[in-house]
Copies of this chain bind each other. A is one copy, B any other.
Amino acid sequence: MSEPVPIIGGTGALGWGLAMRWARAGQPVVIGSRSPDRAAAAAARVLEAAPGAEVEGSVNAEAARSGPVVFLTVPFRNQSENLTNLREVLEPGQILVDCTVPLAAAVSGKATRSLGVWQGSAAQQAQEMAPEGVTVIAALHTVSAPALGDPRAELGEDVLVCGDRKADKARVARLIERIEGLRAVNAGALEMARIVEQLTPLLISVNTRYKTHAGLRLTGLPEGDHWQ
Protein backbone atom coordinates (compact mmCIF):
# COMPACT_ATOMS: atom_id res chain seq x y z
CA MET A 1 0.00 0.00 0.00
CA SER A 2 1.35 3.42 -0.88
CA GLU A 3 2.21 5.91 1.84
CA PRO A 4 -0.18 8.83 2.27
CA VAL A 5 0.43 12.24 0.72
CA PRO A 6 0.33 15.07 3.26
CA ILE A 7 -1.21 18.27 1.93
CA ILE A 8 -0.37 21.31 4.04
CA GLY A 9 -3.10 23.86 3.49
CA GLY A 10 -5.32 21.06 2.25
CA THR A 11 -8.49 22.90 3.19
CA GLY A 12 -7.85 25.52 0.47
CA ALA A 13 -9.17 25.14 -3.06
CA LEU A 14 -6.02 23.73 -4.68
CA GLY A 15 -5.12 21.44 -1.78
CA TRP A 16 -8.62 20.11 -1.45
CA GLY A 17 -8.88 19.47 -5.18
CA LEU A 18 -5.63 17.49 -5.07
CA ALA A 19 -6.83 15.51 -2.05
CA MET A 20 -10.13 14.67 -3.72
CA ARG A 21 -8.53 13.66 -7.03
CA TRP A 22 -5.93 11.48 -5.32
CA ALA A 23 -8.54 9.92 -3.07
CA ARG A 24 -10.59 8.95 -6.11
CA ALA A 25 -7.45 7.46 -7.67
CA GLY A 26 -6.86 5.27 -4.61
CA GLN A 27 -3.98 7.35 -3.26
CA PRO A 28 -4.17 7.84 0.53
CA VAL A 29 -3.98 11.49 1.62
CA VAL A 30 -3.72 13.47 4.84
CA ILE A 31 -5.21 16.94 4.81
CA GLY A 32 -3.34 19.38 7.01
CA SER A 33 -4.71 22.59 8.46
CA ARG A 34 -4.00 24.91 11.35
CA SER A 35 -7.39 23.89 12.70
CA PRO A 36 -8.05 20.20 13.41
CA ASP A 37 -11.78 20.81 12.95
CA ARG A 38 -11.38 22.31 9.50
CA ALA A 39 -9.01 19.49 8.55
CA ALA A 40 -11.56 16.91 9.64
CA ALA A 41 -14.36 18.71 7.79
CA ALA A 42 -12.30 18.84 4.57
CA ALA A 43 -11.47 15.15 4.93
CA ALA A 44 -15.17 14.39 5.35
CA ARG A 45 -15.94 16.30 2.15
CA VAL A 46 -13.30 14.26 0.33
CA LEU A 47 -14.92 11.07 1.60
CA GLU A 48 -18.25 12.22 0.19
CA ALA A 49 -16.65 12.68 -3.23
CA ALA A 50 -14.60 9.49 -2.93
CA PRO A 51 -16.48 6.98 -0.79
CA GLY A 52 -14.20 4.45 0.88
CA ALA A 53 -11.07 6.54 0.26
CA GLU A 54 -8.20 6.64 2.74
CA VAL A 55 -8.27 10.24 3.88
CA GLU A 56 -7.53 11.85 7.20
CA GLY A 57 -7.48 15.38 8.52
CA SER A 58 -5.01 16.63 11.10
CA VAL A 59 -3.02 19.67 12.14
CA ASN A 60 -0.25 20.63 9.73
CA ALA A 61 2.68 19.40 11.80
CA GLU A 62 1.15 15.96 12.26
CA ALA A 63 0.16 15.80 8.60
CA ALA A 64 3.68 16.67 7.45
CA ARG A 65 5.07 13.69 9.36
CA SER A 66 2.67 11.23 7.76
CA GLY A 67 4.33 10.75 4.37
CA PRO A 68 7.58 11.29 2.47
CA VAL A 69 6.32 13.75 -0.17
CA VAL A 70 4.66 16.78 1.40
CA PHE A 71 2.63 19.25 -0.68
CA LEU A 72 2.46 22.88 0.41
CA THR A 73 -0.66 24.51 -1.04
CA VAL A 74 -1.06 27.73 0.91
CA PRO A 75 -1.46 31.31 -0.32
CA PHE A 76 1.83 33.20 -0.69
CA ARG A 77 0.80 35.41 2.22
CA ASN A 78 1.07 32.37 4.50
CA GLN A 79 3.98 30.56 2.88
CA SER A 80 6.73 31.92 5.09
CA GLU A 81 4.81 31.24 8.31
CA ASN A 82 4.10 27.69 7.21
CA LEU A 83 7.71 27.09 6.22
CA THR A 84 8.83 28.31 9.64
CA ASN A 85 6.48 25.88 11.31
CA LEU A 86 7.57 23.01 9.06
CA ARG A 87 11.21 23.61 9.98
CA GLU A 88 10.81 21.69 13.20
CA VAL A 89 8.86 18.94 11.53
CA LEU A 90 10.34 17.94 8.19
CA GLU A 91 13.10 15.34 8.20
CA PRO A 92 16.07 14.92 5.84
CA GLY A 93 15.02 12.81 2.87
CA GLN A 94 11.52 14.23 2.71
CA ILE A 95 10.44 16.11 -0.39
CA LEU A 96 8.54 19.37 -0.11
CA VAL A 97 6.44 20.23 -3.15
CA ASP A 98 5.86 23.96 -3.17
CA CYS A 99 2.81 25.13 -5.12
CA THR A 100 2.94 28.73 -3.94
CA VAL A 101 2.47 31.59 -6.37
CA PRO A 102 3.62 35.08 -5.35
CA LEU A 103 0.58 36.91 -6.73
CA ALA A 104 0.44 40.64 -6.07
CA ALA A 105 -3.01 39.85 -4.67
CA ALA A 106 -1.16 38.82 -1.49
CA VAL A 107 -0.66 42.52 -0.80
CA SER A 108 -4.00 43.62 -2.27
CA GLY A 109 -2.52 44.07 -5.76
CA LYS A 110 -3.80 42.56 -8.98
CA ALA A 111 -3.97 38.79 -9.47
CA THR A 112 -2.53 39.34 -12.96
CA ARG A 113 0.66 40.71 -11.41
CA SER A 114 3.27 39.08 -9.24
CA LEU A 115 5.57 40.10 -6.43
CA GLY A 116 9.33 39.92 -6.68
CA VAL A 117 10.67 37.36 -4.23
CA TRP A 118 14.19 38.05 -3.02
CA GLN A 119 15.36 34.48 -3.66
CA GLY A 120 13.93 34.60 -7.18
CA SER A 121 10.76 32.60 -6.63
CA ALA A 122 8.52 31.31 -3.89
CA ALA A 123 9.98 27.85 -4.41
CA GLN A 124 13.51 29.11 -3.94
CA GLN A 125 12.37 30.84 -0.76
CA ALA A 126 10.99 27.47 0.33
CA GLN A 127 14.33 25.80 -0.44
CA GLU A 128 16.16 28.42 1.63
CA MET A 129 13.80 27.92 4.57
CA ALA A 130 13.46 24.14 4.43
CA PRO A 131 15.64 22.03 6.75
CA GLU A 132 18.89 20.68 5.34
CA GLY A 133 18.34 17.47 3.43
CA VAL A 134 14.80 18.33 2.33
CA THR A 135 14.48 18.74 -1.44
CA VAL A 136 12.06 21.36 -2.70
CA ILE A 137 10.22 20.71 -5.94
CA ALA A 138 7.92 23.32 -7.55
CA ALA A 139 4.77 22.18 -9.32
CA LEU A 140 1.06 22.60 -9.95
CA HIS A 141 0.96 26.35 -10.58
CA THR A 142 -1.12 26.13 -13.74
CA VAL A 143 -3.84 23.72 -12.70
CA SER A 144 -7.09 25.53 -12.05
CA ALA A 145 -8.23 24.91 -8.48
CA PRO A 146 -11.95 25.12 -9.38
CA ALA A 147 -11.48 22.57 -12.19
CA LEU A 148 -9.38 20.30 -9.99
CA GLY A 149 -11.98 20.46 -7.23
CA ASP A 150 -14.89 19.63 -9.51
CA PRO A 151 -15.12 15.82 -9.80
CA ARG A 152 -17.08 16.17 -13.06
CA ALA A 153 -14.46 18.37 -14.74
CA GLU A 154 -12.21 16.45 -17.13
CA LEU A 155 -8.60 17.51 -16.98
CA GLY A 156 -6.26 17.34 -19.97
CA GLU A 157 -3.20 19.42 -19.32
CA ASP A 158 0.42 19.55 -18.25
CA VAL A 159 2.03 20.26 -14.90
CA LEU A 160 5.48 21.83 -15.16
CA VAL A 161 7.80 20.40 -12.53
CA CYS A 162 10.98 22.20 -11.45
CA GLY A 163 13.69 20.91 -9.14
CA ASP A 164 17.37 20.22 -8.76
CA ARG A 165 17.21 16.43 -8.26
CA LYS A 166 15.78 14.44 -11.11
CA ALA A 167 14.93 11.38 -8.98
CA ASP A 168 12.88 13.54 -6.61
CA LYS A 169 11.18 15.30 -9.51
CA ALA A 170 10.30 11.91 -10.96
CA ARG A 171 8.77 10.81 -7.67
CA VAL A 172 6.59 13.91 -7.59
CA ALA A 173 5.75 13.45 -11.26
CA ARG A 174 4.47 9.91 -10.61
CA LEU A 175 2.20 11.21 -7.86
CA ILE A 176 0.87 14.00 -10.06
CA GLU A 177 0.24 11.58 -12.91
CA ARG A 178 -1.92 9.41 -10.66
CA ILE A 179 -4.49 12.12 -11.31
CA GLU A 180 -6.21 11.37 -14.60
CA GLY A 181 -5.61 14.00 -17.25
CA LEU A 182 -2.45 15.48 -15.75
CA ARG A 183 0.92 14.97 -17.46
CA ALA A 184 4.03 16.04 -15.54
CA VAL A 185 6.68 17.78 -17.65
CA ASN A 186 10.28 18.31 -16.54
CA ALA A 187 10.75 22.08 -16.78
CA GLY A 188 14.31 22.08 -15.43
CA ALA A 189 16.09 23.25 -12.31
CA LEU A 190 14.34 24.78 -9.30
CA GLU A 191 15.37 28.25 -10.47
CA MET A 192 12.95 27.82 -13.40
CA ALA A 193 10.20 28.31 -10.81
CA ARG A 194 10.89 32.02 -11.35
CA ILE A 195 9.20 31.58 -14.70
CA VAL A 196 6.73 28.82 -13.94
CA GLU A 197 5.22 30.68 -10.97
CA GLN A 198 4.47 33.56 -13.36
CA LEU A 199 2.19 31.34 -15.41
CA THR A 200 -0.55 31.66 -12.81
CA PRO A 201 -1.06 35.44 -13.21
CA LEU A 202 -0.83 34.89 -16.99
CA LEU A 203 -3.61 32.29 -16.91
CA ILE A 204 -5.65 34.52 -14.60
CA SER A 205 -5.38 37.24 -17.25
CA VAL A 206 -6.54 34.80 -19.92
CA ASN A 207 -9.33 33.48 -17.69
CA THR A 208 -10.68 36.99 -17.17
CA ARG A 209 -10.81 37.57 -20.92
CA TYR A 210 -12.24 34.20 -21.92
CA LYS A 211 -14.37 33.52 -18.81
CA THR A 212 -12.85 30.08 -18.42
CA HIS A 213 -10.40 28.04 -16.35
CA ALA A 214 -7.51 27.72 -18.77
CA GLY A 215 -4.71 25.22 -18.39
CA LEU A 216 -1.45 24.68 -20.17
CA ARG A 217 -0.27 22.04 -22.58
CA LEU A 218 3.10 21.82 -24.29
CA THR A 219 3.12 20.68 -27.90
CA GLY A 220 5.86 18.71 -29.60
CA LEU A 221 6.89 16.54 -26.64
CA PRO A 222 7.69 12.89 -27.40
CA GLU A 223 5.01 10.36 -26.48
CA GLY A 224 5.40 7.96 -23.59
CA ASP A 225 6.84 8.07 -20.10
CA HIS A 226 9.10 11.08 -19.69
CA TRP A 227 10.35 10.10 -16.28
CA GLN A 228 12.30 6.87 -16.70
Contact = CB atoms under 8 A, between A and B. Distances in A.
Contacts of A114: 195
B188 A209 contact: yes
Contacts of A160: 202
B206 A188 contact: yes
A70 B215 CA distance: 31
Given A188-B112, A192-B112, A195-B201, A213 B220 contact: yes
Contact of A202 (B187, B206, B214): B187
Contacts of A147: 220
Given A214-B220, A215-B218, A220-B214, A195 B199 contact: yes
A219 B187 contact: no
Interface in A188-228: 188-189, 191-192, 194-196, 198-199, 201-203, 205-206, 208-222, 226
The 5 closest A-B pairs by CB, nearest first: A188-B205, A215-B219, A195-B198, A217-B217, A214-B220
